[in-house]
């Protein structure tokens, strides 16, 4: 979503420029002041662009900016004559960007808000004109719905294509390509928020023996079940990546070392308690976290987590280690 918003941002600014130019050219007929609402909408999106990366719920910040822009456009349409002017159709323009960043639910909500604004403008400004000439209302409503239907299809196609590129087909987990994008986001985010980032690197114990003894089909079954258990044990917004054959990585924005150790121990316990591919399996984990008020350095953290994971394997497996030693006492 954030990646698509960065791609849309320059085009969105150009679109506001086109609308502003049209209003300036129409100034002698509509009034020069009509440019003001468009400028306000552009400023709102500019402010949202600066703060969305560090927002706890960026999707809400983006959607709020989108709704604000629709309200501003509706206000501009109302002030220029409502249903009797061609600018009513402009309310369909922002719908094009919805599908690139939001799900079908977001598109439906955006369409609903847009239709409410159209009805409010039409009947609030000049109800008599609409009653005497219903096409003044039917045409923009039809345009909005048609754009939304086409955009939903394009969105689903884009989501499917992007998913194929960033999702591991065997486990359904995000892959290294998705990790690269997330690392870039967290690096930029940490520079602004100065919040720590926890890292958990896990490796399935004795996985090679499963492949050698039972075959690769059995190994694949283990990987699928382990991936499912990891996802189930994590919170909905915690992302886990498959970074190697039987190696998985979890990034925890805002988590310090103690919190990261706790999550890793929960994952270790869940794996040990849940058979995978019909086998009793365990995992070893190496954990670390960036220090508060320090920038997130993925390469440095990964090296620390990898070294801690190696130590966990060396100490008998099925345990959690940090660069400073075991997360919990290792039983002899």
Asked if the model's pLDDT at residue 54 lies above 60, the reply is no
The answer to whether 200 and 178 have CB atoms below 8 angstroms apart is no
Asked if the model's pLDDT at residue 331 lies above 50, the reply is no
Give the lowest-confidence range in 109-118, 186-195, 238-247, 304-313: 186-195
Which pLDDT band holds residue 120 (cuts at 50, 70, 90)? very high
Outline where the chain has alpha helix (H): 2-25, 27-30, 35-51, 58-80, 95-101, 104-132, 135-166, 176-193, 207-214, 216-233, 257-273, 298-314
Asked if the model's pLDDT at residue 239 lies above 80, the reply is yes
State percent of the chain over pLDDT 70.
Answer: 88
Query: How many residues are listed for the chain in this entry?
Result: 332
Which pLDDT band holds residue 10 (cuts at 50, 70, 90)? confident
Which of 191, 329, 207, 315 lies closest to 265 in space, CA to CA? 329
Give strand pairing partners of 283.
Answer: 204
Query: Residue 222's pLDDT is what?
Result: 97
Q: Is 256 a catalytic residue?
A: no
Q: Which residue has the higher pLDDT, 107 or 132?
A: 132
What is residue 238's three-state secondary structure?
Answer: coil
Token pair listed for 68: 């604000």
Token pair listed for 28: 């002698």
Which pLDDT band holds residue 158 (cuts at 50, 70, 90)? low
Mean of pLDDT values over 144-164 = 71
Query: Residue 56's pLDDT is what?
Result: 55
Give the lowest-confidence range in 49-63, 125-139, 143-157: 49-63
Query: Residue 131's pLDDT is what?
Result: 94
Of 246, 256, 258, 266, catalytic: 246
Residue 239 neighbours by CB under 8 Å, 6+ apart: 174, 182, 250, 251
Token pair listed for 200: 């958990």
Domain 176-326 has CATH 3.40.50.300: no
Query: Residue 214's pLDDT is what?
Result: 93
What is residue 285's three-state secondary structure?
Answer: strand
Domain ranges of the chain: 2-166, 176-326
Q: What are phi and psi of 244, to 5 degrees?
A: -160, -170
- Residue 293 DSSP label: T
Token pair listed for 78: 């109302």
Query: Residue 282's pLDDT is what?
Result: 97
């Amino acid at each position: 979503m954030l990646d698509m918003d960065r791609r849309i941002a320059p085009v969105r600014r150009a679109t506001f420029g086109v609308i502003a130019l049209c209003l300036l050219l129409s100034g002698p007929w509509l009034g020069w002041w009509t440019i003001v609402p468009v400028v306000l909408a552009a400023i709102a999106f500019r402010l949202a662009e600066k703060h969305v990366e560090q927002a706890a719920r960026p999707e809400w910040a983006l959607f709020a900016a989108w709704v604000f822009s629709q309200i501003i456009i509706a206000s501009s349409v109302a002030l220029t004559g409502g249903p009797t002017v061609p600018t009513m159709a402009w309310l369909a323009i922002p719908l094009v960007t919805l599908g690139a960043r939001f799900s079908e639910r977001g598109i439906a909500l955006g369409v609903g808000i847009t239709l409410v604004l159209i009805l409010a403008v039409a009947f609030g400004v000049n109800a008599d004109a609409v009653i005497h000439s219903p096409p003044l209302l039917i045409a923009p409503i039809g345009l909005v719905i048609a754009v939304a239907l086409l955009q939903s299809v394009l969105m689903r196609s884009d989501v499917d294509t992007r998913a194929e590129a960033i999702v591991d087909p065997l486990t359904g987990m995000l892959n290294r390509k998705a990790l690269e994008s997330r690392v870039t986001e967290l690096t930029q985010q940490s520079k602004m928020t100065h919040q720590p980032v926890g890292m958990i690197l896990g490796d399935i114990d004795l996985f090679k023996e499963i492949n050698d003894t039972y075959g690769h089909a059995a190994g694949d079954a283990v990987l699928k079940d382990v991936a499912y258990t990891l996802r189930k044990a994590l919170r909905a917004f915690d992302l886990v990546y498959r970074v190697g054959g039987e190696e998985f990585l979890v990034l925890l924005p805002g988590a310090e070392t103690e919190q990261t150790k706790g999550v890793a121990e929960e994952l270790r316990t869940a794996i040990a308690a849940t058979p995978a591919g019909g086998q009793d399996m365990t995992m070893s984990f190496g954990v670390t976290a960036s220090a508060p008020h320090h920038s997130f350095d993925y390469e440095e953290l990964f090296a620390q987590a990898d070294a801690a994971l190696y130590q966990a394997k060396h100490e008998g497996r099925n345990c959690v280690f940090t660069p400073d030693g075991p997360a919990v006492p290792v039983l002899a």
